[in-house]
Amino acid sequence: MSTIYDVAKESGFSLSTISNVLNNGPRPVRAETRQRILATMRRLNYHPSAMARGLARRKTHTLGILFGVVEPSAVVLNAYSADVLQGVLTAAAATGFNVTHYTNPWIDAEQSLANFRDQRSDGLIVVAPPIDSDLMPALASLDLPLVAVSWPSGEVAVPSVDADDRVGTRLVVQHLLDLGHRRIAHLMGHGNLLSALTRRDVFLDTMAAAGIARDPALVLPGQYSAETGHENARKLLTMPDPPTAIFAGNDEIAMGVLEAARELGVRIPEDLSLVGYDDRPISALLTPRLTTVKQPFIRIGEHATRLLLERIAGKEVEPVMHWLTPELVVRDSTAPPRR
């Protein structure tokens, strides 16, 4: 491996001139000199060492990424993480930054913070950090540019990017209202999850805003699973006056509804309109193809990365939430209610 010294010796120029060629500046270099030096580099098969550069410049041109709550054995296996990561990689590639995974799961500040103090990367993206841990406060105490994904920016002043469930829910409800539905039921995910609560609250608000009286029998608590979806759907569909549409808390729940409807001979979308949330890959393949809300996870990754790159470049970035808008994907499971 040849070094910049070899290039200097071979070409007959000084170190600083070589460096100026390497970085196009800061001092100007005569064209002919530059050519001679470049030729020498090629001949010696020289390439600068990222370590030495990093040390001298105190910049590594590398981003760090840390996955929070997810199981270490499944960090990128769920669609959520994989999508966010994809967005991060895409946005990083656009500026030539590489991306380093911090693989060691966070224990606590005492044990884990050292990893992030080693100047290995110029900034850090933390995806879905746990709420009840010292992770974010600890990382924020470093002077390392930091951006969070899916984290309720609050006491700790860090910019954070997330999907806007409020907008997504409004899109769903409005779609059903526009089709003419009035008796719309909602099957919730588990009530200790923020998303489940948000989707329910915004569902209720939007219905109320449309002047529809609230019917507690049409809002059922549950889990984000096909089982509770199935169970709750049977309850709804065997009511004397069943709803004409169901807004399922997510696609898994919707799959449970689908099964219940099949069992009870309820046709979708003719007898019942059904909307899910998340747009799992399978949802486009169900019969009928499911109308649902596509989460903007890739865009979230991209956006977070761009914010981080701006901070690294020295721009001020407000430590606020950035809400990205999900998209309603209308397929075959929704239609106007029967007369």
Partner DNA sequence: TTGACTAATCGAAGCGCTTTGCGAAGAACG
Partner DNA sequence: CGTTCTTCGCAAAGCGCTTCGATTAGTCAA
Binding residues for DNA, per CB under 7 A? 1, 3-5, 12-20, 22-23, 26-30, 32-33, 46-49, 51-53, 55-58
Q: Which does 183 bind (CB under 5 to 8 A by kind): a second copy, DNA, none?
A: none
Q: How many residues bind a second copy (CB under 8 A)?
A: 47
Nearer to DNA, 15 or 94 (CB): 15
Tokens of 208: 């109320």
Phi, psi of 232 (to 5 degrees): -65, -35
Q: Smallest distance, Å, CB 194 to DNA?
A: 40
Q: Which does 203 bind (CB under 5 to 8 A by kind): DNA, a second copy, none?
A: none
Residues 261-300 that bind a second copy (CB under 8 A): 281-282, 285
DSSP 160-197: EEEE-HHHHHHHHHHHHHHHT--SEEEE---TTSHHHH
Nearer to a second copy, 31 or 114 (CB): 114
Q: Which does 120 bind (CB under 5 to 8 A by kind): a second copy, DNA, none?
A: a second copy
Q: Which does 4 bind (CB under 5 to 8 A by kind): DNA, a second copy, none?
A: DNA
Nearer to a second copy, 108 or 215 (CB): 108
Q: Smallest distance, Å, CB 46 to DNA?
A: 7
Site mask for a second copy (CB under 8 A), range 182-221, x = bound: ----------------------------------------
Q: Which does 330 bind (CB under 5 to 8 A by kind): a second copy, DNA, none?
A: none
Residues 32-71 that bind a second copy (CB under 8 A): 47-55, 58, 60, 62
Nearer to a second copy, 173 or 255 (CB): 255
Tell me which of 16, 25, 28, 93 binds a second copy, using CB under 8 A. 93
Residues 102-131 that bind a second copy (CB under 8 A): 102-105, 114, 117-120
Nearer to a second copy, 216 or 281 (CB): 281
E strand or H helix at 62:
strand 62-67
Residues 184/207, Cβ–Cβ less than 8 Å:
yes
Tokens of 275: 């909307």
Q: Smallest distance, Å, CB 48 to DNA?
A: 4
In the chain, what is the greatest distance between 2 CA atoms, to the nearest angstrom?
93
Residues 232/258, Cβ–Cβ less than 8 Å:
no
Cis, bond preceding 26 (omega within 30 deg of 0): yes
Nearer to a second copy, 105 or 336 (CB): 105
How far is residue 41 from each of residues 4, 14, 21, 22, 285, measured CA to CA in Å? 9, 14, 11, 10, 55
How far apart are alpha carbons 272 and 183 in whole angstroms?
A: 11
Tokens of 219: 């809002």
How far is residue 46 from each of residues 6, 26, 320, measured CA to CA in Å? 9, 21, 45
Residues 149/161, Cβ–Cβ less than 8 Å:
yes
How far is residue 310 from each of residues 50, 122, 138, 252, measured CA to CA in Å? 22, 11, 22, 38
List contacts with a second copy (CB under 8 A): 1, 47-55, 58, 60, 62, 72-77, 82-83, 85-86, 89-90, 92-93, 96-105, 114, 117-120, 143, 255, 281-282, 285
